[in-house]
Amino acid sequence: MSAITKMTRRLSYEEILGSLGPRYQAILEALRERPRSTARELALYLWEQRKIPQAERNYVHPRLTELVDDGLVRVVGKRKCPVTGRMVAVYELADEKPEIEQGTLDLEGR
């Protein structure tokens, strides 16, 4: 990606961030601090930061889906949730460079 593209993408992100609701902003900030997180991990982090009332993934997951649809967040893999034992999506900001971690499956085929 060229430097100009990165710069314009960053400016667009900052412009959009100001118009998003507080939960969207909190999720984006959490992903910036904790990239490659699951919805449950983000919920726990945001609860510890006192930004959501419970450490429940349902406070985060619907907003993550909308942020993915808007192109601000992307699904970059999956891993087993230690709480449920199920495979769950791993998220990161769309402007971050994806890396494949050992033990994860990149859902976008990169």
State residue 84's pLDDT score.
87
Is residue 12 in some structural domain? yes
State residue 102's pLDDT score.
41
Q: What average pLDDT does range 16-29 have in this prediction?
A: 79
pTM of the entire predicted model: 0.70
Burial of 2-39, coded b for 16+ CB within 10 Å and e otherwise, reads: eeeeeeeeeeeeeeeeeebeeebebbbbbbeeebbbbb
Domain of residue 57 covers 3-93
- Assigned token pair, 87: 């495979």
CATH number of the domain bearing residue 29: 1.10.10.10
pLDDT tens digits for 40-98? Answer: 999 999 999 999 999 999 999 999 999 999 889 999 999 999 888 999 999 999 975 54
Count of domains for the chain: 1
| Banded model confidence at residue 3, pLDDT cuts 50, 70, 90 | low
Is residue 105 in some structural domain? no
